Structure formats: structure tokens, C-alpha cells
């Protein structure tokens, strides 16, 4: 039997004594409450590193379908015993190695939880990649991991302060007999490079690298031993070369979108912002979805906004000179969207292609076939990029007061008609078109 197996078998015998330690119980409750805040009974949850099943069983009691995986047979044996006593048929335990590919299907789980597990891996990158793969689009992962060594005497001091003398004295044996020896082993393994504390900046970088977008990150547990993280898998993402285009759905991502718009549209193009907070926004943002392009360093390098039909109409329809209202009527266009606030830092072609790919995928999900846009007359490169993917001018340039008073050209794309044109005209950039419309997986396949 390996040293690792001996360690976890021994730890499994004493692990549930943590249930007598109020801070641990509070941490469990925090995990459960966080997951319950965005999940519905019946949804699927994978609890990685489930141990003796404390978190998995707590979630199962709320009606979630839970699978708990762990590398330790001893831990799983105790978890299964507890499951049987609780008579929870919606909870299942099985062996799983987080440092290898998991057996689960892509997008299989609505939520993934991890409590004091990932820090024990020599390399957590495989576990994070696999978590991202098997998590459903818009699904969330909730993590609580040690960010620095457990310090016994500060914990005792906090116990006296928070729970009073009697409770603290009752906890003293648990701290000395359970946590103190474990802390010694934890330090040894951390110094040997086997275990890794989850420091905030490294955690942010690791999660962003595989595609997660962080919605919450904060210290928690006794004396801030842990880093508590909630991160989301975007509802839609596009990968092109090393560029990642994601639906901007978190506060951090929306801030990046609005700051990027401010830098380009306000500082460079001279638009007047609604506020002086370094963000560019308008009344149509309430009726829109947004994409954010990120480079391999997770830096914002592009964005586009997709505005849906709304009580205020599309922005392009607010300019009578464009004649879009009459155009829609003549073409029988009932439902449409408008692509706007297109930004690609340094006009990188793969960024523009990825943003348009995101637009096509989004409207496909919505069952919409018609996209309107405006292109600045003086920016011929943008007009050419629009035309390369099938947009057509539907009127002459006009002064557009909402966009700084410059001359802009109204454009329109009908997806079915454009696809027919692509196949009939060899002059189109077929490689780009196929990527955007989903006929191939990359710009280089054809």
C-alpha cells in the first residue's frame, strides 16, 4: 500500500470529526447556500474530491442529483455508508482521478463543487480543464481551497472570541488531535511541491486560462484559511487561434466591455459619455447581449454588441434617413438584431472573425436570420470586413447623430441568402465565411 493510500485511509477515520468544528460546518453551509442560490432541485452536480460525502449529501438532501468522486477508497466507503443511512437515492459515489480525463460527457453537469480538494493535486490544470469540459454552458463551479497554512493558536483564539469559552474548550481537542497533525503533513507536502495553496492571483489566472469567468472571490473559513471562488462557464464562446470570444455575463467582463468602448468610442472617436466613470454606455444596453474578445493573457482586445428588437426600436431605425423601417417592411423582416459597438484592437482579422462568429452563433440560438449594422464611411477597412461576410449596403451614407455626427452607411445581412451567395461567388473569402457560419472549425481547414 502506498504512502498516499495510508495517509488518506487514516484521515478518513477521523475526517468526520470536523463536523464538530463549527467553522467547518459554517463553510459547508456557505457552499450549499451558494449553490442553491443559482441551482434548482433536480439539476446535476458533480462534487469533486467528495471525501466522506459531507457536501454531496447536504446537496442531495435539497433534491439535487449529485455524483461525488474521490481517489480514496476509504473515503468513498464511508461516504457510501452515510448515503445508505440517509436513504438518498439521488446521490451516487464513485472513484475518480482528477489528474486524468474523467469518464463524463461534455456539458453533463449543471454545477461542480470542490471543497478542500484541488490544493492536494500536484497539477490542478487537468482537473480545471476537465471541469470546464463537463460543465454545461452557463454552469458554475464553486470552490473553497486553502490559501495559506492552518495556524492552530489563532484558530483557538478565534474560537474563544466567536463561540465563547465553553465551545472553544470543547473544540480544543479537535484542533489539537485532528487539525494539528494534518497541518504538519500539509506543510511537508506543500514544501515538497505536492500540494499548492490557492493564492488569489494564481487562482484567477488558472481559472481564466481554461475559460472560466469569475463572479465571486473572497477569503473565508477560520482566519481566512480558504479562498472561496465562484466562476461561470460562458453561455457561448468562440475559439480562434489563441483568441477567446466569450459572452460577457459577469460584472468583470461587462466592465471590460464598457471600458473598451470608452477608450475607442469616447477617447478616440469623440463620443460624449453619459458619465465620467470611464465607461461608455447607452439606453440600448438594456436590450443587448455582448461579446468580449480576450487574448491568451486574458486581456480585452475586442467587443461587439448585439441589440434585439425592443420598445425603442433598433438604433439604426431611429435615423429616418437610413430608411430601415421601410426596408424591413419591403423585405417582410419581422424580427431582427443590430450589431454595433464593434471593436478590434489593431484591427486583428482573427478577432473580427471571432466576433462575427459569436454574432452568428447567438442569432442562430435566437432563431433570427436578419442582422443590421452601420459602418463609418471613413473607415473603409470596417466596411470591407462587413462586406466580406455578407453585409450589403442598403442606403447611402447619412449623418448619424447618435454616433458622433459622422457619416455612416446602413447595412444588412440575411443569413440564408448570404449562404447561397457564398457558394455561387468564388470571389468571397470562403475560408472566413465557412468559419463564421459553422461549415468548418477553423480558418485553415479549407
Using CA atoms, how far apart are residues 158 and 140, in angstroms rounded to an integer? 32
Identify the pLDDT of residue 416.
85
Burial class (CB in 10 A: 0-12, 13-18, 19+), 378: exposed
Which residues neighbour 390 within 8 Å (Cβ) at sequence distance 6 or greater? 413, 415, 418, 421, 422, 433
Computed on alpha carbons and rounded to an integer, the radius of gyration of the chain in Å comes to: 27
Identify the pLDDT of residue 442.
31
Domain covering 237-437: architecture: 3-Layer(aba) Sandwich (3.40)
Identify the pLDDT of residue 234.
98
Residue 50: all three cell numbers together: 467528495
For 340-381, the DSSP string reads EEEEEGGG-HHHHHHHHHHHHHHHHHHT--EEEEEEETT-HH
Residue 218: all three cell numbers together: 473572497
Angstrom distances, CA of residue 381 to CA of 81, 322, 349, 392, 431: 66, 21, 11, 15, 19
Identify the pLDDT of residue 398.
81
Task: Please state, as a whole number, how many other Cβ atoms lie within 10 Å of the Cβ of residue 37.
Answer: 10
Beta bridge partners of 288: 307
Domain ranges of the chain: 3-232, 237-437
For helices 125-134 and 200-210, give the axis angle rounded to 10 degrees.
50
Using CA atoms, how far apart are residues 299 and 356, in angstroms rounded to an integer? 19
pLDDT tens series, the chain, 446 aa? 455 666 666 677 778 877 877 888 999 999 999 999 999 999 999 999 999 999 999 999 999 999 999 999 999 999 999 999 999 999 999 999 999 999 999 999 999 999 999 988 888 999 999 999 999 999 999 999 999 877 766 776 776 777 777 766 776 666 666 666 666 666 676 666 667 889 999 999 999 999 999 999 999 988 888 999 999 999 999 998 889 999 999 999 999 999 999 999 899 888 888 888 999 999 999 999 999 999 999 999 999 999 999 998 999 998 888 899 999 999 999 999 999 999 999 878 889 889 999 998 999 899 999 999 998 887 777 787 788 788 999 988 887 766 666 788 999 999 888 777 776 765 555 555 565 665 433 333 33
Backbone angles phi, psi at 109, to 5 degrees: -110, 145
Which residues neighbour 427 within 8 Å (Cβ) at sequence distance 6 or greater? none
Q: What is the pLDDT of residues 400-409, one digit of tens each?
A: 766 666 788 9
Which residues neighbour 319 within 8 Å (Cβ) at sequence distance 6 or greater? 398, 400, 401, 402, 410
Using CA atoms, how far apart are residues 188 and 385, in angstroms rounded to an integer? 57
Using CA atoms, how far apart are residues 139 and 35, in angstroms rounded to an integer? 11
Helix, strand, or coil (residue 211)? coil
Domain covering 3-232: architecture: 3-Layer(aba) Sandwich (3.40)
Which residues neighbour 18 within 8 Å (Cβ) at sequence distance 6 or greater? 24, 54, 174, 178
Identify the pLDDT of residue 384.
79
Q: What is the pLDDT of residues 278-301, one digit of tens each?
A: 999 999 999 999 999 999 999 999
Using CA atoms, how far apart are residues 300 and 289, in angstroms rounded to an integer? 17
Residue 64: all three cell numbers together: 439535487
Identify the pLDDT of residue 371.
96
Amino acid at each position: 500500500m502506498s504512502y498516499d493510500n495510508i495517509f488518506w485511509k487514516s484521515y478518513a477515520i477521523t475526517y468526520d470529526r470536523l463536523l464538530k468544528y463549527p467553522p467547518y460546518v459554517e463553510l459547508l453551509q456557505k457552499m450549499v447556500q451558494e449553490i442553491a442560490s443559482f441551482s434548482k432541485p433536480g439539476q446535476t452536480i458533480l462534487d469533486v474530491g467528495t471525501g466522506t460525502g459531507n457536501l454531496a449529501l447536504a446537496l442531495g438532501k435539497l433534491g439535487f442529483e449529485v455524483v461525488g468522486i474521490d481517489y480514496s477508497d476509504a473515503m468513498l466507503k464511508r461516504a457510501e455508508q452515510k448515503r445508505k443511512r440517509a436513504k438518498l437515492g439521488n446521490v451516487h459515489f464513485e472513484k475518480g482521478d482528477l489528474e486524468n480525463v474523467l469518464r463524463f460527457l461534455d456539458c453533463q453537469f449543471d454545477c461542480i463543487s470542490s471543497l478542500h480538494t484541488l490544493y492536494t493535486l500536484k497539477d490542478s490544470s487537468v482537473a480545471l480543464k476537465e471541469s470546464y469540459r463537463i460543465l454545461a454552458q452557463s454552469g458554475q463551479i464553486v470552490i473553497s481551497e486553502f490559501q495559506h497554512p492552518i495556524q492552530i493558536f489563532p484558530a483557538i483564539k478565534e474560537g474563544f472570541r466567536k463561540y465563547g469559552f465553553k465551545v472553544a474548550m470543547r473544540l480544543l481537542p479537535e484542533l489539537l488531535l485532528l487539525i494539528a497533525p494534518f497541518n504538519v503533513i500539509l506543510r511537508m507536502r506543500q514544501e515538497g511541491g505536492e500540494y499548492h495553496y490557492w493564492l488569489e492571483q494564481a487562482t484567477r489566472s488558472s481559472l481564466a486560462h481554461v475559460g472560466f469567468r469569475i463572479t465571486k472571490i473572497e477569503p473565508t473559513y477560520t482566519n481566512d484559511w480558504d479562498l472561496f471562488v465562484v466562476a461561470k462557464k460562458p453561455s457561448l464562446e468562440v475559439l480562434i487561434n489563441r483568441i477567446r470570444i466569450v459572452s460577457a455575463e459577469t460584472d468583470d467582463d461587462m466592465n471590460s466591455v464598457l471600458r473598451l468602448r470608452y477608450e475607442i468610442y469616447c477617447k478616440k472617436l469623440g463620443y460624449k459619455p453619459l458619465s465620467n466613470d470611464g465607461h461608455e454606455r447607452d439606453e440600448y444596453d438594456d436590450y443587448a447581449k455582448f461579446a468580449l474578445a480576450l487574448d491568451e493573457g486574458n486581456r480585452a482586445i475586442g467587443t461587439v454588441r448585439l441589440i434585439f428588437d425592443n420598445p425603442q426600436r433598433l438604433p439604426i431605425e431611429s435615423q429616418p434617413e437610413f430608411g430601415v423601417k421601410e426596408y424591413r417592411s419591403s423585405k417582410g423582416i419581422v424580427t431582427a438584431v443590430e450589431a454595433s459597438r464593434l471593436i478590434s484592437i489593431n484591427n486583428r482579422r482573427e478577432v473580427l472573425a471571432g466576433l462575427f462568429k459569436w454574432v452568428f452563433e447567438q442569432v442562430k440560438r435566437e432563431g433570427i436570420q436578419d442582422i443590421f449594422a452601420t459602418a463609418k464611411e471613413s473607415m473603409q477597412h470596417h466596411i470591407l470586413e462587413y462586406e466580406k461576410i455578407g453585409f450589403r449596403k442598403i442606403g447611402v451614407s447619412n449623418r448619424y447623430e447618435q454616433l458622433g455626427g459622422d457619416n455612416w452607411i446602413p447595412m444588412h445581412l440575411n443569413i440564408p441568402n448570404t449562404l447561397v451567395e457564398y457558394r455561387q461567388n468564388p470571389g468571397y473569402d470562403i475560408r472566413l465565411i465557412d468559419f463564421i457560419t459553422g461549415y468548418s472549425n477553423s480558418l485553415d481547414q479549407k
